[in-house]
Structure 1
């Protein structure tokens, strides 16, 4: 065995690591019975590696060789973790515990075994990074849950169950994991970041009652003590509670209402980054999930949040300052091009776009990067580079921590430890490892730097910097007008008055310090861009009016500063007319859409436009209110693209406005139809075929919609038609209703969806007075009634209106029937004199109404 062992060690390890590995392996072989040595021989290569690469693991195995043999016999190192099996084992081990000391011993015994298994499988490349991260994270969740469950019961026996004062029902604690544990990516040796929150204030119902706040405070203190106080087999975890509201100065636990109130009133930008990975891991999981759902508007802003870039710059600067102060050794977590920069790249895109793309609301980095590639935020090559870099750096981080079982992220300063790291990563020398590390971190740092870089707009001479200094004091005509002349404004007095008005406005005075800093940073760029417009004064007046409106949402100021192209487009739009400025003031969320150059390069095809509307409606959930808000946002964004096409001399929107309205009508009809069908069931197959793919009614467009001549402010003239049916026919569902009532309700719902005013605005004003009998008629007509009315009752002006009518969306059979009725009606023989008289009469009445 000795000769074989020496030869194997020389084959596997660099010279410097051979003596220690040989001594440790021989010591274990001599310490176990001869009957067990054959078992060790089957794992000899693996044992040599762990003895060479991890002094901690070497010492742990040598401390109790019999325990090591037990693990080998159970094939512990060859099996992938089965979480439910481990959870059952932990539950059984803790149920018999009568004291906290017994509980600690039971948990630490299992925890140590699992740590050894994780390190063994990692150092021998039996498990990949994904499996190791899952094993480490699931182990932590199981340990924390077991401890919390036991300690909760222990306290309940003393003080009773916590009862909510409002609901009079039991209330529980939820532990929200942050950081790596929240993302299911915990380090081998890491703190666990937790926020403790309970459901409701109140009091326990035992013989020695406590306020719920005190009960849960005692519970979390007991849990922290259990997890981080060292025992015979080491400690479980260091617990970091500093991410809780107000940090070290705040209460250890908070009620759900208090937590929500904190983030609403006091939440800071870095806390949004932290909450991206938040995930309930123990206690009342359902309550924890609901709480995080309630906090999502704080984490993910509904608008594109380009303020996240400046927040990231500040956060990264602070991290760099701390790293430089603490150590000269490279830090794989916090150093240049390290793990944190990869995480920041993903998290910044999540914060910027997560408010409008629910698919980005993910905790684990491995799931976020592919989504960013799909969206086009990063390229395929960049995604591949980041994945490879993350894998390399996290494996390095684990190997560093496995050296001495310490929470360490810096490269070892000891030469032997550095060689252990390099060799465990598959390199023959430290030099080769460091060279590979440099290539990887340089690639990450370049991409990270590009992400944080800002485009610059050169201002005319030094006017921009002078204006920045002037803005810090009350502006005067004497100080501002010369700068405006230098920039090239013609009506400098009017422009000066507009700037003075902004500085003195109520919104500016009430704006936060952050908003005022962002405005001061943006204004020089804004002046430079406006000065280059053909209508410079109009551009400045409109944009300043908009800035005054959006000061309460200062992230928009960052968006315009971070994206000079978007600022240029905004100035173009405001120069084109006051109505566009008014519209943007009403819907500032549209500023988000100014970023994407592809949207304005050419007119979108009908197919692409339809796909965008469809994604807006079906994204993420079936909540009708959310669907309609997304549909309104999509419609407003499409109108903005049309406006940009129209003000660009090289492009035109054509009938894009009409196509937008058609797609809105199509989606609204589908939503209204689905909602009523889900309640009442569909019409019977004789009226509406079971395999029909479109709603069973027809929307007909009249006026400018029918003629494909919609303008930006047009309303929609509509007539709604349904199939013929018997008076006693019912829908086919759990709550059948007469068909005439069903179609009326679908029509009412459609009109409501189109015209309801919300925070996102309304889709369209709708006019249905052109229907048969006008306001006196039903809002939806069956085909037979519509045909009879057109052929026998309609007046000449109604036939004139029919000329500009056409089917917009709905059932194809009804489409064909309407087309036939229209043709038949317009083909009627008419007396030319009577027709001319009727038309002249109608024109006179219209002119009279206009003069009233």
Structure 2
């Protein structure tokens, strides 16, 4: 066939050849080889690198032809026509590994090993057990597999060569099966298992060679080889250092050999073993035998006795060394000694997590590994980089070591088995576990294909287009939708991103660090001492607590399994609250409300903050607990910064309008409005209790959601009230008091007045319609339902409760002109339109402007204000209340500060525009700026006013109901302290701080107000 035949080039291109011009020459040369028949170019399409497969086949044909063995050429030529399956395996193998091409060129007869039964050579074959692999490699060095202590026929390079050659033959068969598989991710655990078993067999054969090398002296010692890392976990890759630890003991009775002699012989054996595997020889090395994980690392003794190992791990080992022990397994040498090592040291793995700083040290080690990768390699690092193999392995190992002390099902040295156990036990979610498993398999297939290619240790995904294309064709079998490098890199990078997210979610769980400190009994909570432990950490009713625990964790459901995992830590966190018993009861109720929701326990287990936040809230706030029981789905907010963010008035009102409009009755519509109000009230309370915002923002946010809800409720009431008495009828709601000042607390009534304009309607009809609107609005917002109420209070209207509920604008004008009292002008300082017809509200505010900001206030009016303040202190202070502790009416309380601000407004707002505000703090700041009051005085007043308001809010959150005074009981004070951001145990400090702050404010008030 002519080398320039266009049809040949076209077929080579379709088959996937990269360098078509060169391949055409090689193809032409191949067809002239007597050992090769008429090769169909399409056969090469299966190979990862058709170019390498073609060149490899050409080299093999030449090697067979020049080998000189009887009829080697004829056998290969016959196979080409008689065994098409062998041909396919041969081409696929040669195209997968140039390293194995080199092997078959050195050993031309080994191509025959690719003839298998129904396409299986090692994978799935009964002859691939660890024992059979051990036999194959011991036979290769002339050692008796049945001997108690196998010794090779010699201890030199001849045995090294035989061992390495037989190992490569096994590897050739394994690569043939692996590279031809249509489901490489399905078989990768089995491939890794066989590679580990082959390594163990090679170590056994190498030890037999080492015994022969040192002669009869070897009989004085027993040497066990402990596999570590992926060898120990039976999940080895194609080319990796084989990590080991050596244990040595005298072979005879005590005293038969001194310690120095035992160590010397053991060291000689270990050294010769490593040489058999990796020393320079005519046959390439298998892999390096790495003993760096031994005690003291490379600076430590190569071999140690079992007692020396015990002593080291008992006294000196670091946390990472116990993590390494997780995969330790006897793999070669004296089996009894190896088992004794395992039984002595494996239990230490499951105690290591209780060491101080264990979790942090593991996390720090993972970070150091990532930080030490050269910047240029990070994007291509398959093993150590972010989202790489180590992220999966470290995630699994940390979970195993933290929870494995209580759950023996997690004690698996193999990553795939560990992921399955963690998923089955609820330590990771089913979907997360499946994604980690699938991702790990895919990355391991890439790793295997990388190392298979040149039989070299590497974890860097190539950037060279040809190499990347070949890698992709090896990862994606023939028949896949696409086998391109672009597809592989896009998939790998997206997979790394997802693995990194899962790793960080799992690896940095707060639950992990807390669980690590628990003993086995504490982790299981099943011993008779559990009640005593609960009492010791603060539960007043430990028997009741155990009942809650049993209700939450009994049974065989996944929900119960996850609760058993979480509860030991959550109980400790709940015990840090002020009332652990109430908090645990609240947790049980919330859990029972959400127990069937798939996301709830997953959130508590996986979130970086949700579980700790929930236990904090339940431990300090009955109010939040009650609201969560009504809206348990709000627990999801605890992990979502956006969900906890304060909403604005416009969006709340708009949502309320949309939601209410969907309902056909006024009760249902107002119920929807109140549901939104309750939801936003809970959102504010959670942020407040968790200190996620500024303290002074709380009153503003509470005022805002109240305003928005009142506005939406009024729109709804008007929709169902029928036609107004005239087209021009207008109605508005004016906020007064704390609502008018945007200073609402959790316990505040919503002080309002109602204003209407008949708009040309009959006066009686307009009054009746306005009263109906106001009455329906008050009733609807106060009605007993499952949602929080808004208590509208119109007592600050003219004539108080004896006056009409609503007035027209004209009626207000007449009243203020004829009957207004100084206290009413003071009340009007906080008047602010919040709902209804805002143009009418603006007219009302213009009407009251001269009243609340008078050009001049008579002295007798000032005296009246002062007398009213004094009378209020003496008459309205509840009987038995301590004046120093009452938060509103007491000395230095809210009222003291507000009356100072309001008197300054009445006296000076006409000439100081900054005083024309409904806000207490802004009024004081404006007075300070106008030099009407000293800076230090304003500081004292604002501090006391803020402190009193925060204490009132904290008491509502803690008790679930208002409290008028600073509490005296220690637990109440402690709750207030926690909610105000003080450290635990600061209840009395809060008391002292408040009383001192109030005293200072009282002195300012008396000097400024009465001065």
Tell me the TM-score normalized by structure 2. Answer: 0.44
Quick one: distance in 2 between partners of 1:317 and 1:272?
Answer: 18
Quick one: distance in 2 between partners of 1:299 and 1:205?
Answer: 32
Q: Could you say what secondary structure the match of 2:372 adopts?
A: helix
What is the Cα deviation at residue 45 of structure 1? Answer: 3.1
CA contact (8 A) 2:206 2:274 kept: no
Q: How does 1:748-759 map to 2 (within 5 A)?
A: none
The answer for the alignment partner of 2:219 in structure 1 is 161
Q: Do residues 51 (structure 1) and 110 (structure 2) align? A: no
What is the Cα deviation at residue 366 of structure 1? Answer: 1.2
Q: Could you say what secondary structure the match of 1:243 adopts?
A: coil
The answer for the alignment partner of 1:363 in structure 2 is 413
What is the Cα deviation at residue 147 of structure 1? Answer: 2.0
The answer for the alignment partner of 2:78 in structure 1 is 38
Q: Do residues 217 (structure 1) and 267 (structure 2) align? A: yes
Q: Do residues 603 (structure 1) and 548 (structure 2) align? A: yes
The answer for the alignment partner of 1:67 in structure 2 is 110
CA contact (8 A) 1:224 1:239 kept: yes
Q: Could you say what secondary structure the match of 2:226 adopts?
A: strand
Quick one: distance in 2 between partners of 1:209 and 1:268?
Answer: 26
Q: Do residues 266 (structure 1) and 316 (structure 2) align? A: yes
CA contact (8 A) 1:403 1:417 kept: no
The answer for the alignment partner of 2:210 in structure 1 is 151
What is the Cα deviation at residue 349 of structure 1? Answer: 0.4
2:137 to 90, 104, 108: 90
Quick one: distance in 2 between partners of 1:313 and 1:608?
Answer: 30
CA contact (8 A) 1:331 1:338 kept: yes
What is the Cα deviation at residue 184 of structure 1? Answer: 0.2
Q: How does 1:420-431 map to 2 (within 5 A)?
A: 420-426=470-476, 427-431=482-486
Quick one: distance in 2 between partners of 1:349 and 1:240?
Answer: 27
1:308-339 CA distance string (max 9 Å, x none): 43122211111112213573551111111111
Q: Do residues 24 (structure 1) and 56 (structure 2) align? A: yes
Quick one: distance in 2 between partners of 1:289 and 1:353?
Answer: 24
Q: Could you say what secondary structure the match of 1:104 adopts?
A: helix
1:343-383 CA distance string (max 9 Å, x none): 01100101111111122111011111111112211111111
Mark the CA change 1:452 to 1:87 in structure 2 (over 3 Å): closer, same or farther. Answer: closer
Mark the CA change 1:113 to 1:74 in structure 2 (over 3 Å): closer, same or farther. Answer: farther
CA contact (8 A) 2:222 2:334 kept: yes
1:646 to 581, 587, 595: 581
1:179-209 CA distance string (max 9 Å, x none): 0000001110111001101235999999999
The answer for the alignment partner of 1:432 in structure 2 is 487
Q: How does 1:521-560 map to 2 (within 5 A)?
A: none
1:96-124 CA distance string (max 9 Å, x none): 62332232122112011112222222221
CA contact (8 A) 1:177 1:279 kept: yes
Mark the CA change 1:555 to 1:71 in structure 2 (over 3 Å): closer, same or farther. Answer: closer
The answer for the alignment partner of 1:132 in structure 2 is 191
The answer for the alignment partner of 1:13 in structure 2 is 16
Q: How does 1:827-846 map to 2 (within 5 A)?
A: none
Mark the CA change 1:123 to 1:433 in structure 2 (over 3 Å): closer, same or farther. Answer: same
1:747-794 CA distance string (max 9 Å, x none): xxxxxxxxxxxxxxxxxxxxxxxxxxxxxxxxxxxxxxxxxxxxxxxx
Mark the CA change 1:601 to 1:439 in structure 2 (over 3 Å): closer, same or farther. Answer: farther
- Structure 1 gap segments, 5+ residues each: 163-170, 457-553, 561-565, 567-577, 620-629, 655-852
Quote the RMSD (CA, aligned, Å).
4.5
Q: Do residues 282 (structure 1) and 332 (structure 2) align? A: yes
Q: How does 1:707-746 map to 2 (within 5 A)?
A: none
CA contact (8 A) 1:329 1:412 kept: no
CA contact (8 A) 1:9 1:22 kept: no
Mark the CA change 1:387 to 1:98 in structure 2 (over 3 Å): closer, same or farther. Answer: same
Q: Could you say what secondary structure the match of 1:280 adopts?
A: strand
What is the Cα deviation at residue 236 of structure 1? Answer: 2.4
CA contact (8 A) 2:379 2:385 kept: no
Mark the CA change 1:323 to 1:161 in structure 2 (over 3 Å): closer, same or farther. Answer: same
Quick one: distance in 1 between partners of 2:254 and 2:213?
Answer: 13
Quick one: distance in 2 between partners of 1:449 and 1:148?
Answer: 42
1:116 to 145, 162, 172: 172
Quick one: distance in 2 between partners of 1:8 and 1:50?
Answer: 21
The answer for the alignment partner of 1:192 in structure 2 is 242
Quick one: distance in 2 between partners of 1:307 and 1:70?
Answer: 53
- Provide the aligned length of Structure 1 versus Structure 2: 503
Quick one: distance in 2 between partners of 1:653 and 1:411?
Answer: 50
Quick one: distance in 2 between partners of 1:141 and 1:424?
Answer: 27
Mark the CA change 1:75 to 1:146 in structure 2 (over 3 Å): closer, same or farther. Answer: farther
What is the Cα deviation at residue 91 of structure 1? Answer: 2.9
Quick one: distance in 1 between partners of 2:490 and 2:55?
Answer: 31
Q: Could you say what secondary structure the match of 1:174 adopts?
A: strand
Quick one: distance in 1 between partners of 2:277 and 2:234?
Answer: 19
Q: Could you say what secondary structure the match of 2:383 adopts?
A: coil
Mark the CA change 1:89 to 1:581 in structure 2 (over 3 Å): closer, same or farther. Answer: closer
Q: How does 1:677-826 map to 2 (within 5 A)?
A: none
Q: How does 1:90-489 map to 2 (within 5 A)?
A: 90-93=137-140, 94-95=142-143, 97-125=153-181, 128-152=187-211, 155=214, 157=216, 159=217, 161-162=219-220, 172-199=222-249, 211-301=261-351, 307-324=357-374, 327=377, 330-426=380-476, 427-453=482-508
Quick one: distance in 2 between partners of 1:649 and 1:129?
Answer: 46
Q: Could you say what secondary structure the match of 1:423 adopts?
A: helix
Mark the CA change 1:651 to 1:444 in structure 2 (over 3 Å): closer, same or farther. Answer: closer
Q: Could you say what secondary structure the match of 2:373 adopts?
A: helix
Quick one: distance in 2 between partners of 1:415 and 1:342?
Answer: 28
CA contact (8 A) 2:90 2:111 kept: no
The answer for the alignment partner of 1:460 in structure 2 is none
Quick one: distance in 2 between partners of 1:232 and 1:88?
Answer: 23
What is the Cα deviation at residue 131 of structure 1? Answer: 2.3
Structure with bigger gyration radius: 2
Q: Could you say what secondary structure the match of 2:381 adopts?
A: coil
Q: How does 1:487-636 map to 2 (within 5 A)?
A: 583-584=536-537, 603=548, 609=554
Q: Could you say what secondary structure the match of 1:144 adopts?
A: helix
